[in-house]
Structure 1
Amino acid sequence: MLKEKLKDKYITLETTPPKLPTVDLMIEKIEKSEAYKYIDGFSTTDCPLSKLKYNSIIAAYKLQEKFKKPVIATMSMRDRNKIALQSDLLGANDLGVTHILALTGDPANMSDQPKAKAVVEGSSILLLEIIRAFNNGMDYAGKEFKIKPKPITPFAVSNSYAKNFSSIERRIFKKVQNYAVGIITQPVYDINIVEKLLEIKEKVISEFNDERKEAEIILGFFPITKLKTAQFLHAHVPGIYVPEEWIEKLIKAHKISEDEEYKVGMELSRNLFQQLLKKHPKIHIMTANRFEIVKEFF
């Protein structure tokens, strides 16, 4: 189980199911890349950027069946009310999908579907509360199930950077308070920021005297191989910091050639990954489904 692996080395790989009536092509791509050999588990995203995609829970089930590794299925608050959240949890439970990432979700106005409306009865904290109720054998209304659901392991997310890190601390505390076992961060590109996040984690878990003391930070890792990616993340994605050193090196490489740009980006990313492994080997790899590059970091 992933919960046990959190005590040691823990590497997961994010997958984004396609906008297709099957996830088999993505599974074939993972198999061909051999990325599954290097990781402890997967995650499936839930219609990121509010774009229509294949169902995250069913994708998680099919990945588990194929690779015999646990999968964290993302559930977005954007698309579900309390009824739908609990209904999906019951179905996921029956399929053995018991690792759930609680996510508020991207705004519906970003959707590729005309006039799509968000549901959002609450933030991801509501889903964590629902999972806690399920783990106590009852629904959110406090009514006991005739058959107790399998234990659910809840995960949550966090920004990796803020001008004032106390805001990150408050959010992480709230999620750990609601029994999130692992907090997956946005991508990190600076070891000094890793240090701050780990300090925050230690401070947060010191507030508890039960199983919440075991909560862990899982560092997001997204390799940068293009200058435009580095500039976009740094300038337009809240909660991510890309060091100026990375941008300067990629600018120089970009002026030489596309191949040099890729080479420099991969070298920077590979060195970072090795640093993360030494510092805190609990890492969530995000590659935008470029599964073939995973093996380059091991």
Structure 2
Amino acid sequence: MIDINKDRLITLETTPPKLPTIEPMIEKIKKSEAYKYIDGFSTTDCPLSKLKYNSIIAAYKLQKNFKKPVIATITMRDRNKIALQSDLLGANDLDVTNILAITGDPASMSDQPNTKAVVEGNSTLLLDIIRAFNNGMDYSGKEFKIKPKPITPFAVSNSFAKNFSSIEKKMYKKVKHYAKGIITQPVFDEDIANKLISIRDKIRFEFKDTREFDLIFGFFPITKLKTAQFLKSHVPGIYVPDEWIEKLIKAHKISEDEEYKVGLDLSKTLFEKLQKIHPKIHIMTANRFEIVKELF
């Protein structure tokens, strides 16, 4: 189980492949030595509604291979209450007890023809189901003959908004539903990181001793101009500083190697600053695991 109360927590996101095995991904992690620098992993659940290997089984295999805890993502998009609880029971038996609850990307984005979403609620419903499991019963209130192992629930948050009160309201709601870890979208600015910490502190004060939760900064190392421009223009809830764009434009005009060098330098500097502000960080690399080693 991931201990959200640790002074330092570094996790690494993995996206299982569209294959009947995750062995190639495991070998890639081993070759990169990324596992040596982190405290745990996460597995995504068919991001962008694209078909991928199962997130829970992937989490089990990563835990077995690397002896580190894994947060398995479960989306609301693909499951009703029966399927959600069935998956939680199976995950529990496999010792996959860190669960990231998300609503999920729209089914309309899927690579599978005529895909329809199966949505009975947003991520707070799954948080409520996890709460019931942690009390030894299913969502209908019926007690299990064997109580499930404790589940640590995680949720997500945007890292930027024109009005940060909207982030506060959504984060408050998820903590109210007993999320213990809130993983943000990637943070690219120190001031934004400090604003998010202020929101965390305010919510903690409002709940006083009735909730146990902490924030985990999302971190995405940028090494290409097109990635920075895409995140800035097309991904809601993320802020990429103009300074980053300008420096990457200049580097891009020189060479691909210079572009990578400048991007990595910006990312590494930010990573060091974020660790000083709050050393609980979730690294997202789009499975470019080799870059983890370069950050430390």
The equivalent of 1:85 in structure 2 is 84
Asked whether the 8 Å contact 1:3–1:181 carries over to 2, the reply is: no
Query: Deviation at 1:2?
Result: 1.6
CA distance in structure 1 between the partners assigned to 2:2 and 2:151 by the alignment: 11
Identity %, equivalent residues: 79
Please tell me the residue identity of whatever aligns with 1:207. Answer: E
SS at match of 1:60: helix
- One-letter amino acid of the counterpart of residue 3, structure 1: D
Q: Does 1:3 align with 2:6?
A: no
Task: Give CA deviations for 1:197-246 in whole Å, capped at 9, x if unaligned.
Answer: 0000000111113351x311100000111111111100110000000000
Matches of 1:211 and 1:80, distance apart in 2 = 30
Instruction: Report the TM-score when normalising by structure 2.
Output: 0.99
**How far 1:24 moved relative to its partner?**
0.9
Task: Supply the AA of the counterpart residue of 1:70.
Answer: P
User: Which residue does 1:218 correspond to in 2?
Assistant: 216
Give the superposed CA RMSD. 0.8
TM alignment of 1:1-298, pairs within 5 A: 1-4=1-4, 6-212=5-211, 214-298=212-296
Counterpart amino acid of 1:19?
A: K
Secondary structure, aligned partner of 2:19? coil
For residue 281 of structure 1, what is the amino acid of its counterpart? P
| Structure 1 spans left out of the alignment, 5+ residues | none
- Show CA shifts across 1:92-142 (max 9, x none): 000000000000000000000000000111000000000000000000000
Determine the C-alpha separation between the residues in 2 that align with 1:205 and 1:102: 20
Per-residue deviation, residues 146-185 of structure 1 (Å, max 9, x unmatched): 0000000000000000000000000000011111111000
Amino acid at match of 2:240: V
Contact 1:137–1:144, Cα closer than 8 Å, also in 2: yes
* Matched AA of 1:147: I
- Where does structure 1 differ by over 3 angstroms across 4 or more consecutive aligned residues? none
Question: Alignment length, in residue pairs?
Answer: 296
Aligned partner of residue 127 in structure 2, secondary structure: helix
In 1, the alpha carbon distance for the partners of 2:208 and 2:135 equals 19
Deviations 1:5-55 (A, max 9, x none): x33100000000000000111011101111000000000000000000000
Distance (Å, rounded) in 2 between the aligned partners of 1:172 and 1:28? 36
